[in-house]
Structure 1
Amino acid sequence: MLKKLGAFGYLSSQEVKDNGVVNAGHLDQALALAWVKLHICKFGGDPSKVTIAGQSAGAGSVMHHALAVNGDLGSLLFDKGLAQSPYLPYQPNFNDAIPTSRYYAFSAAAGCPSSGSVFSCLLSKSAADLELASLSVTASSTQGSWGFWPVTDGVYIKNRPTAQLTAKRVNGNKLLVGYNAHEGPLFVPGPDAIETQADLLAWMALWFPNLSSAQLNSILAINPNSALSSASGPRFETDGLNTGGFNAINTSPDGVGQKQRGNNIYAEATFACPAYWLADAYSGNPGKSSWLYQFSVPFAYHGADINAAFGPSTPSLPSDITLAFRKAWGNFIVGGNPSIANTIANGASSASPSAYHPASNWPVWNQNAPQFVNFNTTGGTLATVELPLVGPYPQYEGPGIKNAISVQNANTWEAYRGDRCAFYKNLGPYMPN
């Protein structure tokens, strides 16, 4: 949502706030949610059981509505939240240097002054002019970034997400949150741009503009990898368990070496760790609960779980895995628990469909001993597929694909992802987010 609205939803500066509101995109969503709450009964719905859902920037919106008004809205707007890959870039104050500089860049691109009072001039411009100006600012941003984001406005969004999530000040009662195994490749420059550690640091300085060189190097230290990038590979999936020393820090179907190091830094800081932090905020919080998943069906790039949830199916997504994923969603929305039956988790093509499966008793997220469900498959025939911005990548196609869904330890997963997420949260005041 925020990526699509651009300046129309998230233009921010002191002058914008003095003349109206910032975070207008989120306020529009809140108005829509209030309308649903008031009128859903006229469509056969239950106003006490509203579920909001979103993917990527939309999942970031779910997160922000969970944080809205310091978490004091309770279940006023929704009961349950479903967030696919919650997007959390840095979140400055509405009048900080970065949103203010983009406000003036937007003004100049629209044909108005680049400093001083420009609001009246912007009001005189056509919607088409403003749309092109918004596109211009976003086009000049670092790969993986956009021109306009939500900001801390002191009214609807009162705090940094990492701070408020740590304080467990959240709206709604239940949350299902997840991410994909390889969130980074679409947002990180290719292996020809990131071959060495120096290349990686140069990109990181653009993506994390507020961090010092010491802080950037500390991120490298918790993502140890001395190998050079290689476009020829070998590139392959990891099992997440660090078998043989291979994990998301150093290899994926998209890259190896410094390129994959960057992929995982972006993936964890922007999507995977915010999913952990969101789940944490509902854990041990009276009357609230959460569940977490990772979608790992190769090649599990950003957005891959959309096909599993809504279709259309692809050669790597046979009916067994899509049925399991959709049942988890449906069970959460209807009954408030994403657990799926043994026969669904194992899949009809399993040798023992009725055998006990731990996903039939999906563990509620426990911040002190976190477990999640990993949606994956095994079998099939290796094929090469082309993905825009990524290039050729390996995936497995049917027949012969079977479910390989499992319950895993979220802390030790991918060479102690839990530790890295705790580290990124400590950087929250500096990013800021």
Structure 2
Amino acid sequence: MAFPGDEDCLFLNVAAPAGATKLPVVVWIHGGGYGFGDGAQDLTELINDNGKRFIGVAMNYRLGAFGFLASQEVKNSGVVNAGILDQALAIAWVKSFICQFGGDPSKVTIAGQSAGGGSVMYHDIAVNGGLGSLLFEKSIAQSPYLPYQPNFNAALPTSRYYAFSAAAGCPSSGSVLSCLRGKSSADLQAASFAVTLSGVYGTWGFFPVTDGVYIKNLPSQQLTAKNVNGKKLLVGFNANEGPLFVPGNITTQADLLVWLAQQFPNLTPTQLNLVLAANPNSALTNPAAPMFETNGLNTGGFNAVNTGPTANGQQQRGNNIYAEAVFACPAYWLAEAYSGSSTKSSYLYQFSVPVAMHGADIEATFGPDVGRLPGDFTTAWRKAWGNFIVSGNPSITNVEANGAGSAAPTAPHPLSAWPTFDANNAKLANFNTTGVPAVGVTVGNAITVANANSWEAYRGDRCYFYRNLGPAIPA
């Protein structure tokens, strides 16, 4: 069986405008659950639509067992979190050599989506936040993915280490590293994939661990202490992150509890019931009942806990639990970690253009256009990203925010002065459109600023709840 990808992967792709001189730089870290993907993302549309004001770099890094195999034996003989260290080396290379391509090494922004966004989070907290701006000045985390993060020698990574060894044809206990080093790359790729297939639905087999050197703490704890690197952060998520990762057969609360126990095996029955209490919804899943995007404001009692574009009832309850615990709440925690300081600041957003499932914002950021997003919306989104990369402030003009084709393009708009995130007055920019493009339908921007804490029936409270569960998850 052939597996996608190539382990000869430690390359960078640089996209630099002609004649570039001391331009800011964005370094892109791809997603894929730490087990899939590559650095082939084309950054030119984002660069060109921002007047060629910055340089783009896209990296590769080791994935699956090659990048994230962990155990005491691995640590004794080398390093764990090799994939994260690959990224750090790539960023350091950019700092050292991007001047050869017309880049300014003092103006580096790291950016990523999903596992790439999670990787950004790990670099934000690297070395207990003691790196400052050594590697980068700013960061962008799109849907920062936060799976379990056990210690490198804990039971879970150790059991997967031995499962990987057995799948590769080596012993399932004791010292196995020398045997593994004698196997071919193809054999090891197959073994890595086998471990993933044996895991919980929607997850990959290998992921970052607490290594005590680069990643010293759980993000939920360190972000609370606000020990972070860099100075400025743009972070957000999609409105419906969960459906791709939650099995679609949840009808009753009993079904939901079975899945929750698999997804969060370290939680006690009491803690699982607290998760349910934090997400109140007694309705059964009903395929004949309405399914639609909520507006975030709990209008008519509809919110992400009980209603979504692909599910309702207990299925949607599970979808939202996963979405918040793994993607949305880490974004909230990151935003808060960069708030309340004279030297740091952050900006929080939600991408809501239907159907805003995981990865939906990638098209808006990089293209290509598949007819789902109006041009005015893409302009607003990309200009916000570009402005942040260049200046550290994603604010856009009234015309860009309203849309050049709107009835009042120059009317005052709150994103002309995008509010920084503050825990006591938390603001969220909601990026949406007035509809979905169709034949004969004119669609425009519907970009607003809302209270992040009360959003979707008090998501802020649920994120506080999940943060307190962090040591038990662990996350």
> How far has the Cα of 1:367 moved from its partner?
1.6
The answer on whether the counterparts of 2:68 and 2:82 sit within 8 Å (CA) in structure 1 is yes
Q: 1:21-40, aligned counterparts within 5 Å?
A: 21-40=79-98
| Kept after mapping to 1: 8 A contact 2:167/2:191 | yes
2:141 aligned counterpart, secondary structure: strand
Q: Which amino acid aligns with 1:49?
A: K
Q: Which residue of 1 aligns with 2:473?
A: 431
| Contact residue 354 and residue 436 of structure 2 kept, 8 A | no
Is 1:300 aligned to residue 356 of structure 2? yes
Take 1:27 and 1:398, find their aligned partners in 2: how far apart are those partners?
A: 51
- Picking from 35, 39, 48, the partner of 1:3 is 35
* One-letter amino acid of the structure 1 residue matched with residue 267 of structure 2: L
Show structure 1 runs of 5+ residues with no match: 382-395
Check the 8 A contact 2:373/2:436 in 1, yes or no: no
Checking the alignment, whether the CA contact within 8 Å between 1:145 and 1:207 is kept in structure 2 is no
1:44 counterpart residue number: 102
* Alignment partner of 1:320 is 2:376: yes
Partner residue in 2 for 1:216: 272
- Corresponding letter in the other structure for 1:125: K
Helix, strand or coil at the partner of 1:47: strand
Partner residue, 2:194: 136
For 2:111, what is the secondary structure of its paired residue?
A: strand
User: Which secondary structure does the structure 2 equivalent of 1:378 belong to?
Assistant: coil
Q: CA deviation at 1:399?
A: 3.4
* TM-aligned CA deviation for residue 398 of structure 1: 6.7
Q: Secondary structure at the residue paired with 1:48?
A: strand
Q: 1:76 aligns with which of 110, 122, 134?
A: 134
2:128 touches 2:216 (CA, 8 Å); kept in 1?
yes
Shift of 1:139: 1.1
Q: Which amino acid aligns with 2:208?
A: P
Q: Aligned pair 1:257/2:313, yes or no? A: yes
Alignment of 1:30-429 (within 5 A): 30-190=88-248, 193-380=249-436, 399-429=441-471
Structure 1 residue 377: Cα displacement:
0.7
Q: What CA distance in whole angstroms lies between the structure 1 residues aligned with 2:340 and 2:449?
A: 20
For 1:282, the aligned partner's letter is Y
**CA separation of 1:397/1:373 partners in 2, compared to 1, >3 Å: closer, same or farther?**
farther
Task: Give SS of 1:326's match.
Answer: helix
CA RMSD across the alignment: 1.1
1:140 shift after superposition: 1.2
Q: Conserved in 2, the CA contact under 8 Å of 1:168 and 1:285?
A: no
Distance change in 2, residues 1:200/1:121 (3 Å): same
> 1:316 & 1:351 partners in 2: Cα distance?
21
Counterpart amino acid of residue 414 in structure 1: E
1:61 & 1:321 partners in 2: Cα distance? 27
Offset of residue 79 of structure 1: 0.5
- Name the % identity: 71
Matched, 1:19 2:77: yes
SS class of match (2:461): helix
Please give the TM-score of this superposition, normalised by the length of structure 1: 0.95
- SS of the equivalent of 2:106 reads helix
> Structure 2, unaligned stretches of length 5 or more?
1-30, 37-62
8 A contact 1:309–1:326 mirrored in 2:
yes
Give me the whole-angstrom Cα distance separating, in 2, the residues matched to 1:226 and 1:293: 29
User: Secondary structure, in 3 states, of the residue corresponding to 1:60?
Assistant: helix
2:180 aligned counterpart, secondary structure = helix
> For residues 217-246 of structure 1, what are the alpha-carbon distances to aligned partners after superposition, in whole Å with 9 as ceiling and x for unaligned?
100001000111122331011110000000
